Amino acid sequence: MDSVERMYAFNSGMPAGNGWQLYNVAREFKRQGVGSSTRAWRFSSVNASYEMAPTYPSMLVVPSNISDMTLIHAAKHRSKGRIPVLTYLHWANLATLSRSSQPMVGITQNRSIQDEKLVEAIFSSHERAHGLVSSSSEPVYGSTMTNLIVDARPTANAMANHARGAGSENMEFYKNCKKVYLGIDNIHVMRDSLAKIQTALRLQDERPVFEARQEATVLDELALQRSQWLKHLGAVLQGTRQIVQNIHIHSSHVLVHCSDGWDRTAQLVSLAQICLDPYFRTLEGFAVLIEKDWVSFGHQFQERHGLVHQSSSKFDMRAPQHDLLLDAEAKNDEINEEQSRAAPSLWDFTKSLTAHFQGHASSQTAPIFFQFLDCVWQLQCQFPERFEFRGSYLTELVRQAFSGTSGTFLYNSERERRLSSSPNKPAPAEMTPSVWDALLSDTSWKNPRYDPSLDRRDGRDDQGVLYVEPKDVRFASDLFRRSDDSLNAHLDAERRQKVYLQQQLAESVHESRPKALSHQDPLFPEETFHNAARKVRSLFSDGWNRVQEAVRKTTDEANVVAQRHDSGVIPTSDSNNESSSFAAINNPWIEQTNKVRNELGSLSSCSWESPPSSTATGDALPPSLPRSISTPEPDAMTSTDPLGASYL
């Protein structure tokens, strides 16, 4: 399709409903507390004509002590002019979540005083919450080193952008904050990952032409695992959890960006708000969130979904037996002929992922919005009673986003939707229906398990704030249109095995733990470490005792040899005795015995029973040597050398 105006949304004959007015900037941010809970923020119309930042909304929420002129200068230092602006003010502590694009640092490490002042004002907004400014230079509540600049990209990708004139913040110039990299891969990696899932799903559906059996083949779950889709979901959710903790627990501010600030940034800030604010988990609030952080803040829906500039001749327009993302329920298939021409666009998108076309449209397609909805599905699985809408509602949103039946998911920015392309033609927002007109009027999307009382801000530990577990992710049965068993059986088996091994390990540690340890040493839970340390000490003690015993025996034998020498007993050689012949060779024990004998020969002899005495010079003998050596009877001098030499 070569023109967006050929989409079904422009030819449906449906009027533009009230859905376009669902999100109102002033109303939403006042709900959050701007102007009432805090005076640190203001509404700015510096981008009213979309000249400063064409992909940004016309009205922005910025720090009240930053002028519009400063914003204009700061925009020169950010990619596409997308300066740091407020997207969420937390109800509990006035901590903030802001978003932007990457700074234009470059290899020469360019800096912008205006950008630095803007970020500093965002991170110190607690000081101006009630119109008061602290005179102290010390960091105050909400303006501490826990303030974060979150770069969603891998570190290597961010550093590589320096060669293109962009990059990441030089933290030498940004005060009272630190920077973290989340390591979320770019659109090309996500596109390839979803393509591998699509390939595995299609292989399950394919059957030989002349095969009598109609049963589908078993889904290759290892192929799903190799796609690393769950790994990418975990990375996004891990970043979400870090943002939520920093805002709600540490009461500090977070600024999020990736490269241009409309892909990974949109995912992270949206998911964080869903976790922080129960309002965004309602049907209306979720729609407002998508309008605010995806539609208004310029996610490239038209570019990422490849709805335009894709020739139908490039693709097999026949849909597979199970659409990859499309909801194939009967009520959704009952569409007229005009709408059916737009429906295959989703399949076009997935086919383009597999074919890897080199054209501009295919190289920029990516399942970013779909991945966001998948993350929301993961949250629903972990907190099933905290969402007003079902998982099937997310499937319908995917279908709407790729079908082109509404103007909400067409175009790439608020400017393209709100401004007319020609003087004689109304704006697209005045010609096309909004997706929310139909969705919000349908009560079948409501979740029967939803319990809003769980989100009360008083009396509960979580206060309505969700802490997602990034490792507990699975393939979304609602979005991939497969049963949960076929998608996650192998994954569940691995996790059950892991839990079993952990239980076995815990039981073995508990059995080997001393009973009194938990009472004597409650501050050291590492019982295994202490048990191992005690065993090592016991081994060393036992080994040292053995060494001392060996030294004692060697000394006694040396004394016996010396006594034989003093008494004139000489070892005899017996040709019939193998031990005697063995003693005739170079025996190190014999050599050592001779050495000891020579050393002891110079000592004066005395009885073992006689008291210790000094030598003629008056010096005491070394304590390691015997004070006296007695001369035993010759008949009693029978000993055997450890190596086999006999002495008589």
Answer yes or no: is 154 within a domain. yes
Residue 24's alpha-carbon distances to 14, 179, 282, 382, 414, in angstroms, are 23, 32, 17, 31, 13
User: Do 81 and 157 lie in a common domain?
Assistant: yes
Q: How far apart are CA 319 and CA 229, in angstroms?
A: 23
Q: What angle do CA 508, 509, 515 make, to 5 degrees?
A: 110
Structure tokens of 530? 């202490």
Closest CA to 123 of 103, 95, 163: 95
Pick from 362-366, 439-443, 621-625: least confident: 621-625
User: Do 554 and 408 lie in a common domain?
Assistant: no
User: Do 161 and 289 lie in a common domain?
Assistant: yes
User: Do 452 and 534 lie in a common domain?
Assistant: no
* Residues annotated within a binding site for substrate: 186-187, 258-264
Q: Classify burial at 133, counting beta carbons within 10 Å of its beta carbon; exposed 0-12, middle 13-18, buried 19 or more.
A: exposed
Higher pLDDT, 509 or 157: 157
User: Do 576 and 450 lie in a common domain?
Assistant: no
pLDDT at 398 over 60: yes
Higher pLDDT, 263 or 533: 263
Answer yes or no: is 374 within a domain. yes
**What range defines the domain where residue 235 resides?**
34-208+215-481
Domain termination site, one of 448, 481, 514:
481
- AA identity, residue 106: G
pLDDT at 624 over 80: no
When divided into structural domains, the chain yields a total of 2
Answer yes or no: is 522 within a domain. no
User: Do 423 and 562 lie in a common domain?
Assistant: no
Pick from 196-205, 255-264, 444-453, 616-625: least confident: 616-625
User: Do 423 and 534 lie in a common domain?
Assistant: no
Answer yes or no: is 487 within a domain. no
Higher pLDDT, 371 or 425: 371
- AA identity, residue 452: P
Answer yes or no: is 13 within a domain. no
The helix (run of H) or strand (run of E) holding residue 42 is strand 41-44
Structure tokens of 267? 């995912």
Long-range pairs for 139-144: beta carbons < 8 A, 24 or more residues apart: 139/176, 141/251, 142/93, 142/94, 142/95, 142/251, 142/252, 142/253, 143/176, 143/252, 143/253, 144/176, 144/250, 144/252
Answer yes or no: is 232 within a domain. yes
The helix (run of H) or strand (run of E) holding residue 646 is strand 646-647
Task: Determine the 3-state secondary structure of 494 from DSSP.
Answer: helix
Kindly state the average pLDDT of the residues 493-502: 85
User: Do 576 and 634 lie in a common domain?
Assistant: yes
Answer yes or no: is 641 within a domain. yes
User: Do 475 and 537 lie in a common domain?
Assistant: no
User: Do 435 and 544 lie in a common domain?
Assistant: no
Does the annotation count 381 as an active-site position?
no
Kindly state the average pLDDT of the residues 196-210: 72
Residues 6+ apart with CB under 8 A from 189: 232
Q: What is the pTM of this model?
A: 0.71
Pick from 145-159, 359-373, 434-448: least confident: 359-373
Answer yes or no: is 510 within a domain. no
pLDDT band at 218 (very low <50, low <70, confident <90, very high): confident
Catalytic residue (choose from 258, 375, 381, 606): 258
User: Do 282 and 380 lie in a common domain?
Assistant: yes
DSSP 61: E
Backbone φ and ψ for 4, nearest 5 degrees, come out as -70, -25
Domain termination site, one of 420, 448, 481:
481
pLDDT band at 358 (very low <50, low <70, confident <90, very high): very low
pLDDT at 632 over 70: no
* Residues annotated within a binding site: 186-187, 258-264
Q: How much is the pLDDT for 511?
A: 72
Higher pLDDT, 15 or 349: 15
User: Do 394 and 272 lie in a common domain?
Assistant: yes
